[in-house]
Amino acid sequence: MLQLSLTLANDLYELLAISGEPVDFLKAARRLLALKEAPASLCREVMNSLVVEDGRFCWHSPQSLGLRDWQETDPDLKDVSFVVVDVETTGGRPGPAKITEIGAVRIEELRVVSTFHSLVNPQRPIPAKVIEITGITPDMVRDAPRIELLMPNLMEFMQNSVLVGHNAQFDLAFLNYELSRLDGRRLDEGAFDTLKLSRLLAPGLPNHQLSTVAGALGSRVDTFHRALADASATADIFLVLVGRLQERGITRLNQARSFADPLHKRDRHKLVLTRHLPRTPGAYLFRDENDEVLYVGKADRLRDRVRSYFISGPDHSRRVRQALRRLHRVDYVEATTPLEAIATEQDLILQHRPQCNTFGRNPERYVYLKAEGNRGLRLYTSPNPSARGATVVMGPFRGKGRVTGAIDLLTRCYPIRRCARNAGDPCLYGQTGRCLAPCVGQPDEIARHDALVYDLLRWLAGDLPQRFSQPDPPEAMALALTTKLARQSRFEEAAEIKKALDDTLALRRSCRAVMDGLRINTAALWPDYTDTIMPQAHISIVWEGSVVATLTVTESTAALEIGRFIRTLEPPTQPRFPVALPNTRLDSLLAIRRWLLENQTILRVPYSDSDPVSARESLDRWGENIMASALRLLTIHRPPSK
């Protein structure tokens, strides 16, 4: 019933938003319920329950429904209740990262009247870097309530208020993720972002980080990166900025919203372009009036995802906003499962090269890290994946700057070759001991030098050698060099080394992600009870990081279909150093890996060859496990027939 009411509420909101005017309750109810002859009493009961349960709706008249923000006059800012909210988290991405602390400050009549604060048990480790920033340790959250216990109290605290945050998109993304996961709700759009407001009303600041703005605008708070302290500082900032709005003659809520974001709701009328979209997995294409593909995306539920661009507010990337402004038509390609939708999306991006997509449209610009040279291996970048002339090829990588930064760091921290000299006298670096000078041609020095280069590349790939050729790994070497330069007051050089270290560690994470992706061999299963007489299971097979097939089976066909497919598979190969993929495969591999990491609750049957049996037997056993899982989905969890 909850999911049904949520679906009806969203459909009613879309109907009213598209119409832009009140709608007869009978017309609305019969359309949403798909019952042309539904009794008026039933229609009124259903519509009234939505009005009572969802604050977005109101009775415009005894016969018609409307949106509440149509009916309300534009209230004075001093009459509006605001709640400033801030969260601390274990990372930057909702889902993989979780909330560790919530702080909120309630403002009424432009005065702080109450606060809300609690630590949250994230039920996962807190990274050391996050502990360093926030000071929130595992011991502090061990006995803290879980988020599902806190959300009702937080929602009560925020009731009948307009939300405020500094970089509000971040905090609302985490809160909406948890709300959607727990009961399918989202916080209303229209939050004020003091980051954006401060750029408009305090433009002379060196930056608009919370601490900078708080200091400039006279906040009493001087400690940051804790939820309640940050919420209190943001509340101080907001009240000052409201004062500056009032000085400009902006005294009402919608006036302030229009000032803060003049593009807000501009594209809402384009909701009509989503009417034909199904609520199934797939990929969608935004086209302009010349039929050019502007943007390609994927969705677990096509209609809901595309609608969210127009309903959830303006917090999209610059390129997506550009696509929405030019949008004339939405096309789609259905997929059977969300994983199949990822593969479809990547194929469409490569086919159309849409100008508003960030990743995947120009894979030929990705670069490879190569090592070559007869007299000592030299590191360099190349857009060509060919190994011709190269001893080692790794990649591809999306950012040439990161690869160049990593090469710069390694050549500064270790005595490895950085020039392309032929045999002869050593260069300045070789003469001063900063390079082993393999170009001189001494076999022992060449072997020693190349062993070090191999060790560094294997470290970069996450394939650590048992014995490192140097006493310290690159992180320690870089930090030691940074400290030395800072003591010599060579701060710009120290900053360059710090930046190069960040590039190197990012490159290492990319290598690990590729290796992890190539090791993914699993089956993901979804039940489909649309047909209660003969329910189906949809099975996406991910093999060596690629979606190689999607099967749809019933109880009677599961054994045949799964067995037939398993017989077409060859045993997986384990990725080994060095790994060099085709540049067109990188984005799909990383997207599949990310989706699987973010959707841990989906039923999966991982392939395993750990048992001492032949590879063929391992595959057959895996097929049997997939079949058993599919049959459990189709029988044990089958909903009762109506």
Would you please indicate which residues are annotated as catalytic (active-site) residues?
225
The helix (H) or strand (E) run that includes residue 563 is helix 558-566
Helix axes 491-518, 400-413, angle to 10 degrees: 120
CB burial readout 95-121, b (16+ within 10 A) else e: bebbbbbbbbbbbeebeeeeebbbbbb
Overall size of the chain counted in residues: 642
Q: Give the separation between CA 473 and CA 119, rounded to whole angstroms.
A: 36
Helix (H) / strand (E) element for 77: namely none
CB contact at 8 A, 520 and 592: yes
Side chain identity, residue 422: N
Helices (H) and strands (E) in the chain, counts: 23, 18
Is residue 517 within 8 Å of 589, Cβ to Cβ? yes
Distances (CA, A) of 398 to 149, 402, 510: 41, 9, 9
- Note whether 450 and 376 are within 8 A (CB): yes
Calpha distance 390→634 (Å, rounded): 53
Long-range Cβ pairs for the range 137-143 (8 Å, 24+) = 141/100, 141/101
Cα R_g (the chain), whole angstroms: 29
CA dist 518 and 513 (Å) reads 9
Q: Which of 283, 327, 289 lies closest to 305 in space, CA to CA?
A: 283
Q: What residue ranges in 383-426 does DSSP mark as E strands?
A: 392-397
Nearest-angstrom CA–CA distance, 552 and 290? 37
